[in-house]
Amino acid sequence: MAREGVEATTSGTKSGGFYDAHSEYQRRVVQAGAAALERVVASLELDQEGEPLAIVDYGAGTGANSARAMGAAIRSIRSRWSETPIVAIHNDLPTSDFGALRLAAEGEGYLGIPGGPIYSMAATGSFFDQLVPDASVGLGMCSNAAHWYREQPHVGEFDGMYFSAARGAQRERLAAQAADDWTRFLEARASELTPGDRLLVQGIGVDGEGRVSAGRLLEQMWAVALGLSERGLLDRTVLGEYVFPVYCRSAAEAKAPMGPGGPLAEGFEVVAADSQEVATRTGRCSSEAATARPTRAPTRRSSAPSPSRRSSAGCSRRARSGSSRRRSATSSSPPSSAPPPPIPRPAATRPTS
Ligand SMILES: C[S@@+](CC[C@H](N)C(=O)[O-])C[C@H]1O[C@@H](n2cnc3c(N)ncnc32)[C@H](O)[C@@H]1O
């Protein structure tokens, strides 16, 4: 469904502090990626300390988790470059509560972090489109958001309303649509990031058998919805067509577009991709993280080959076609000397958007 002129299937997280107060699991997913974020920042390069570094958090929500993630990134950057000006950009849909987001940056947020100036900004729009100028981003982050579809899927009725309940050709169609969306997300980031910089994507994922913990919750919601339709309170045809518009990827699906022969094979190098279980109050959910770096010859940073950078659920930018920069080796797992970066997969205990 197009909303407010952008392509998205949600109008954002609930405002008035609701999402911030009910996103403990998402917060844990972000925290699970702390070590990966440290490694990503450790691998960033700056030509000169006075040059601004732009960080974008894609799908930032209403603030609390995004401000924490941004704060963690800025503190880590400050430990390397104390005076570098930071441009902290939060992206979400135009319908999101950006006022709450800005307030979250104040006080306990990141604006008080000592050192050089920090500028907090909003980039409103769909992350399936380019949101900031070419090669203007030094670090991209995304947590618990890249699982949303760009358009409402229509695959016909199956016994459920969540991708994990679909089988056979219907599951394949849901996977294919999600793969197209993921490629589009990455294409936009490939333009925005400077080659050699880092993109860290964390989200809820599926386990090796394609299961996601939120599947049980969505089964219960489906049972309730069927009951409502039997009582004439929900149109059975509409219900049968409905798919909750998110798709949780496996690590292999997350890496696929950047792998050999993939549409982003020349645009990103996967530095690390991993998954881990993130505890909830009632159990454990899988989460994934991947780090990648762009590979086009950098415009802002040194043109010398840079060491691998990683992010949880992250990628790095590769050279675009015609680039003079050599493609770096891709690693889907961290070196044995370091713990694997957490790749939070989108496995939510509640379908908060
Ligand atoms: C579950 S929240 C995650 C918020 C925050 N990153 C966190 O980890 O708590 C998902 C966010 O993704 C946003 N989102 C979904 N589709 C989007 C799109 N196409 N473009 C930008 N943001 C989108 C939603 O509006 C929502 O705020």
Q: Is the pLDDT of residue 314 over 80?
A: no
Q: Is there an atom of ligand 1 within 6 Å of 143 CB? A: yes
**For residue 334, what pLDDT is reported?**
26
Q: Burial code of 308-340, b = ≥16 C-beta within 10 A, e = fewer?
A: bbbbbbbbbbbbbeebebeebebebebeeeeeb
Residue 316: per-residue pLDDT: 61
Determine the residue of 1, 3, 10, 132 to mutate for testing ligand 1's pocket, defined as the one with the most ligand atoms within 8 A of the Cβ atom.
Answer: 10
Q: Calculate what percentage of the chain has a pLDDT beyond 70.
A: 78
Average pLDDT of 80-98?
94
Cα separation of 269 and 44, whole Å? 15
Residues 269, 284: Cα–Cα separation, whole Å: 30
306 lines ligand 1 (CB under 6 A): no
How far does the centroid of ligand 1 lie from the alpha carbon of residue 342, in Å? 19
Instruction: Work out the mean pLDDT of the chain and round it to a whole number.
Output: 80
The tens digit of pLDDT for each residue in 209-249 reads 888 878 888 999 999 999 999 999 999 999 999 999 999 99
Q: How far is the CA of 125 from the centre of ligand 1 (A)?
A: 11
Structure tokens at 6: 């952008």
State the maximum Cα–Cα separation within the chain, in Å, rounded to a whole number: 67
Kindly state if the Cβ of 185 falls inside 6 Å of ligand 1. no
pLDDT of 292 above 80: no
Q: Span 43-64, mean pLDDT?
A: 87
- Indicate the range of 17-26, 202-211, 344-353 predicted with least confidence: 344-353
- Read off the pLDDT of each residue in 333-344 and give the average, rounded to a whole number: 28
Residue 225 Cα to ligand 1 middle (Å): 25
Which of 4, 19, 93, 352, when mutated, tests ligand 1's pocket best, judged by the most ligand atoms within 8 Å of its CB? 93
- Whether residue 119 is predicted with pLDDT greater than 90 in this model: the reply is yes
The CB of 203 under 6 Å from ligand 1? The reply is no
What band does 50 get if pLDDT is binned at 50, 70 and 90? confident
> Binning pLDDT at 50, 70 and 90, where does residue 18 land?
confident
Residues 239 and 237: their CA atoms lie apart, in Å, by 5
Tell me what pLDDT residue 19 has: 74
Q: Is 13 in the pocket of ligand 1 (CB under 6 A)?
A: yes
Identity of residue 188: A
Which residue, 293, 273, 87, is CA-closest to 190?
Answer: 293
Q: CB of 59 closer than 6 A to ligand 1? A: yes
Pocket lining: 84 vs ligand 1, CB cutoff 6 Å: no
- Average pLDDT for residues 156-170, to the nearest whole number? 95
Flag whether pLDDT at 310 surpasses 70: no
Residue nearest to atom 13 of ligand 1 (CA): 59
Candidates 148, 184, 246: which one to mutate for ligand 1, based on the most atoms within 8 Å of Cβ? Answer: 148
CB-ligand 1 contact for 128 (6 Å cutoff): yes
